[in-house]
């Protein structure tokens, strides 16, 4: 299929553009110099109805670099506000992102968004650009999270360019095309609520209900009820997302309300991290000196952010009490997702009252010894398997006697499972990934990409797509971080 026909096949509908003009500013992307394709994701292309064979064509690169317009596209930057690090930040908005439009693909309806495509009226002090470094991280994280089965925005392609971009040092620009059913954030609601503009608040809420949560809107209902249901639905998705993050050791790093997806997707891959050695208080974002967004605070912050969303919806709900009741279900929703996830990670098909203590004891042990998060769970799957020595598991812990003591408890618990050991092992390998996007792997990919060597990114994308299956020749991608990685730090700079 030719590029033109394939792009024509993307049937743009642009429902966000049908909202009142105050919601966005129409503008075109600012072109970049010498755009070149770093990588494109055929799976995402298929989902949106784009023939993957066009991904390598120059026309495709130009269109998704923002250098040539997409037929049927209607680019716009959306306004939103938000709380950053617990403090009201006022008006923000797509300062470097542009919504190209919405397409109907075989996998549903998706918005396509360029990130790093130039200044907008919401750029404030920023330059509208994203550097290659942070764009590689965003691109790979999207693929990694989808591979893990965790709700996320997707990335269609990553394009590198020559434009210089000043951060701490001089870097170069890149553009990521992100894909999601919606990029609306908690902060999109806070924006109108803070202005006291209940009219536009209702427009937004009704749009989100119609577009993404039709089950919340019931005709002939009490006037405030759909908005309470909306909060409840977003709360359930957010609670589940937090449980999923926790269970793979993912840390978002900047859980500001403007980065909280109304769809419960992982949104905005900035200074995120996957845990290496387990430290429950680990802060992946160097800029977050107070540790607001440490691993163990994430579920609580999710709840705090939902409070901000509830406050924003208050003028529509009619009364505060139903919103409060919805908020009160958060902990139960989180635990209803997290506890079974933890049982599954340990291969416990049944749930017994004492399992919580067994799991807590493992967390404490891993934390005290900084045992590698990913490898600990993965290697537990092979416990007492034929031809599987204990040594690789022992190697993750400094105090092996303490590990052995816990393993005795664990074995005793496993003995009460009806499921045969082989079936348990297979189930554990399905939920405990072997490959996660460790910081040092992203760093290696970035270093190579800076020299126009995109092969490291391609290899990581291929492996992370299927993180639960051991892949021949990918042993190094499962390995613990090398010594040099201790010095890596990731900040908000992007
Ligand atoms: N280089 C930049 N130029 C213009 N605006 C920026 C830039 N970097 C960040 N911003 C804006 O600052 C605010 C907070 O930034 P944050 O890092 O959370 O978002 P982001 O990574 O740019 O985008 P997104 O949340 O869409 O992934 C947003 O309004 C964002 O658009
Ligand atoms: Mg953001």
Say what the ipTM of the complex is: 0.99
For ligand 1, atom 27, the nearest C-alpha belongs to 268
Residue 259 Cβ inside 6 Å of ligand 1? The answer reads yes
In a domain, 79, yes or no: yes
The annotation status of 268 as a binding-site residue, yes or no, is yes
In a domain, 80, yes or no: yes
Q: Give the distance (Å) from ligand 1 centre to CA of residue 185.
A: 13
Query: Pick from 161, 163, 141, 160: which is nearest to 152 by CA?
Result: 141
Residue 123 Cβ inside 6 Å of ligand 1? The answer reads yes
In a domain, 15, yes or no: yes
Same-domain pairing of 145 and 196: no
- Which residues have CB under 8 Å from 377's CB, separation 6+? 345, 346, 428, 432
Query: Pick from 269, 251, 247, 249: which is nearest to 259 by CA?
Result: 269
Are 73 and 97 a contacting pair, CB within 8 Å? no
Same-domain pairing of 195 and 171: no
Residue 116 Cβ inside 6 Å of ligand 1? The answer reads no
In a domain, 67, yes or no: yes
Q: Any catalytic annotation for residue 212?
A: no
DSSP 3-state assignment of 374?
Answer: helix
Same-domain pairing of 276 and 133: no
- Nearest ligand, measured from the Cα of 265: 1
Are 326 and 231 a contacting pair, CB within 8 Å? yes
What pLDDT sits at residue 228? 98
Same-domain pairing of 199 and 218: yes
Q: How far apart are CA 254 and CA 276, in angstroms?
A: 19
Q: How far apart are CA 38 and CA 132, in angstroms?
A: 10
* DSSP type of residue 215: G
What pLDDT sits at residue 451? 97
Residue 178 Cβ inside 6 Å of ligand 1? The answer reads no
Are 46 and 108 a contacting pair, CB within 8 Å? no
For ligand 1, atom 10, the nearest C-alpha belongs to 95
**Residues flanking ion ligand 2, Cβ below 5 Å:** 259, 268
Q: How far apart are CA 412 and CA 409, in angstroms?
A: 5
Same-domain pairing of 168 and 215: no
For ligand 1, atom 2, the nearest C-alpha belongs to 126
Same-domain pairing of 114 and 208: no
What pLDDT sits at residue 173? 98
Q: What is the residue whose two structure tokens read 């971009």? A: 165
Walk along the chain (494 residues) in steps of 10 and give the mean pLDDT of each run.
77 92 98 98 96 92 96 95 98 98 92 98 97 98 98 98 98 98 98 98 98 93 95 98 98 98 98 98 95 98 98 97 98 98 97 97 98 98 95 97 98 97 98 98 98 98 98 98 90 92
Q: Give the distance (Å) from ligand 1 centre to CA of residue 258.
A: 9
State the residue range of the domain holding 126.
3-183
Same-domain pairing of 33 and 163: yes
Helices (H), 20-108: 42-48, 58-65
Please tell me the number of Cα atoms within 13 Å of 31 on its side-chain side.
7
In a domain, 115, yes or no: yes
The annotation status of 126 as a binding-site residue, yes or no, is no
Residue 171 Cβ inside 6 Å of ligand 1? The answer reads no
The annotation status of 115 as a binding-site residue, yes or no, is yes
Residue 256 CA: nearest ligand 1 atom is 18
Same-domain pairing of 26 and 150: yes
Q: Ligand 1 pocket check: which of 126, 177, 305, 492 to mutate, most ligand atoms within 8 Å of Cβ? A: 126
Are 148 and 269 a contacting pair, CB within 8 Å? no
Residue 270 Cβ inside 6 Å of ligand 1? The answer reads yes
What pLDDT sits at residue 380? 98
The annotation status of 74 as a binding-site residue, yes or no, is no
Q: Which of 340, 359, 390 is the last residue of a domain?
A: 340
In a domain, 391, yes or no: no
Q: Ligand 1 pocket check: which of 123, 133, 186 to mutate, most ligand atoms within 8 Å of Cβ? A: 123
Q: Give the distance (Å) from ligand 2 centre to CA of residue 282.
A: 21
DSSP 3-state assignment of 107?
Answer: coil
Same-domain pairing of 332 and 195: yes
Q: How far apart are CA 403 and CA 331, in angstroms?
A: 30
Q: What angle do CA 485, 338, 434 make, to 5 degrees?
A: 40
H-helix or E-strand spanning residue 392: helix 391-394
Same-domain pairing of 176 and 193: no
Q: What is the residue whose two structure tokens read 């952010």? A: 305
Handedness of CA 97, 99, 100, 102 (dihedral sign): positive
- Which pairs count as long-range contacts for 161-168, CB under 8 Å and 24+ apart, including other chains? 161/32, 161/33, 161/34, 161/35, 161/36, 161/65, 162/32, 162/33, 162/34, 163/32, 163/33, 163/129, 165/127, 165/129, 165/130, 165/131, 166/127, 167/131, 167/493, 167/494, 168/493
In a domain, 299, yes or no: yes
* pTM for the model: 0.98
Same-domain pairing of 176 and 28: yes
Residue 20 Cβ inside 6 Å of ligand 1? The answer reads no
Residue 165 CA: nearest ligand 1 atom is 1
Q: Which of 151, 183, 215 is the last residue of a domain?
A: 183
Q: Give the distance (Å) from ligand 2 centre to CA of residue 216.
A: 27
Q: Which of 183, 198, 219 is the last residue of a domain?
A: 183
Q: How many domains does the chain have?
A: 2
Q: Tell me the two tokens of residue 129.
A: 């650009």
Q: Hey, how many other C-beta atoms are within 10 angstroms of the C-beta on 30?
A: 17
Q: Give the distance (Å) from ligand 2 centre to CA of residue 352.
A: 41
What pLDDT sits at residue 1? 64
Measure CA 304 to chain center: 18
Exposed / middle / buried, residue 347 (Cβ in 10 Å: 0-12, 13-18, 19+) = buried
Same-domain pairing of 176 and 191: no
In a domain, 240, yes or no: yes
Q: Give the distance (Å) from ligand 2 centre to CA of residue 265.
A: 13
What pLDDT sits at residue 294? 98
Active-site residue, from 41, 154, 163, 258: 258
């Amino acid at each position: 299929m030719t590029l033109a026909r394939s792009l024509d096949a993307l049937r743009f509908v642009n429902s966000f553009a049908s909202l009142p003009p105050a919601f966005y500013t129409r503008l075109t992307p600012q072109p970049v110099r010498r755009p070149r394709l770093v990588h494109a994701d055929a799976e995402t292309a298929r989902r949106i109805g784009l023939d993957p064979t066009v991904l390598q064509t120059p026309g495709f690169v130009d269109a998704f670099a923002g250098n040539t317009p997409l037929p049927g596209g209607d680019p716009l930057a959306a306004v939103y506000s938000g709380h950053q690090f617990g403090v009201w930040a006022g008006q923000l908005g797509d300062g470097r992102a542009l919504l190209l439009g919405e397409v109907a693909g075989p996998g549903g309806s998706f918005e396509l968004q360029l990130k790093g495509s130039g200044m907008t009226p919401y750029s404030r002090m920023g330059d509208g650009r994203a550097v290659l470094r942070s764009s590689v991280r965003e691109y790979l994280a999207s693929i990694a999270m989808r591979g893990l089965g965790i709700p996320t925005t997707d990335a269609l392609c990553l394009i590198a360019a020559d434009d210089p971009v000043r951060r701490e040092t001089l870097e170069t620009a890149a553009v990521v095309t992100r894909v999601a059913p919606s990029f609306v954030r908690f902060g999109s609601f806070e924006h109108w609520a803070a202005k006291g503009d209940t009219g536009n608040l209702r427009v937004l809420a009704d749009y989100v209900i119609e577009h993404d949560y039709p089950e919340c809107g019931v005709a002939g209902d009490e006037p405030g009820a759909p908005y309470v249901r909306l909060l409840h639905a977003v709360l359930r998705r957010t609670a589940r997302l937090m449980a999923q993050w926790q269970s793979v050791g993912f840390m978002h790093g900047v859980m500001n309300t403007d980065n909280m997806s109304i769809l419960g997707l992982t949104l905005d891959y900035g200074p995120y991290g996957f845990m290496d050695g387990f430290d429950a208080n680990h802060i992946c974002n160097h800029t977050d000196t107070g540790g607001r967004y440490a691993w163990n605070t994430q579920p609580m912050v999710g709840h705090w952010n939902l409070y901000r969303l509830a406050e924003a919806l208050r003028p529509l709900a009619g009364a505060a009490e139903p919103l409060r009741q919805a908020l009160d279900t958060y902990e139960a929703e989180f635990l209803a997702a997290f506890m079974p996830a933890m049982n599954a990670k340990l291969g416990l098909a049944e749930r017994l009252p004492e399992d919580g203590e067994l799991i807590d004891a493992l967390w404490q042990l891993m934390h005290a010894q900084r045992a590698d998060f990913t490898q600990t769970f993965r290697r537990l799957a092979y416990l007492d398997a034929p031809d599987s020595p204990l040594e690789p598991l022992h190697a993750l812990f400094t105090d092996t006697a303490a590990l052995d003591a816990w393993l005795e408890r664990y074995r005793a618990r496993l003995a009460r499972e009806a499921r045969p050991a082989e079936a348990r092992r297979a189930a554990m390998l399905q939920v405990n990934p072997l490959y996660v996007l460790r910081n040092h792997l992203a760093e290696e990919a970035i270093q190579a990409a800076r020299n126009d060597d995109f092969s490291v990114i391609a290899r990581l994308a291929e492996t992370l797509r299927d993180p639960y299956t051991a892949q021949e020749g990918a042993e190094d991608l499962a390995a613990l971080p090398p010594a040099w990685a201790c010095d890596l730090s990731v900040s908000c700079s992007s």
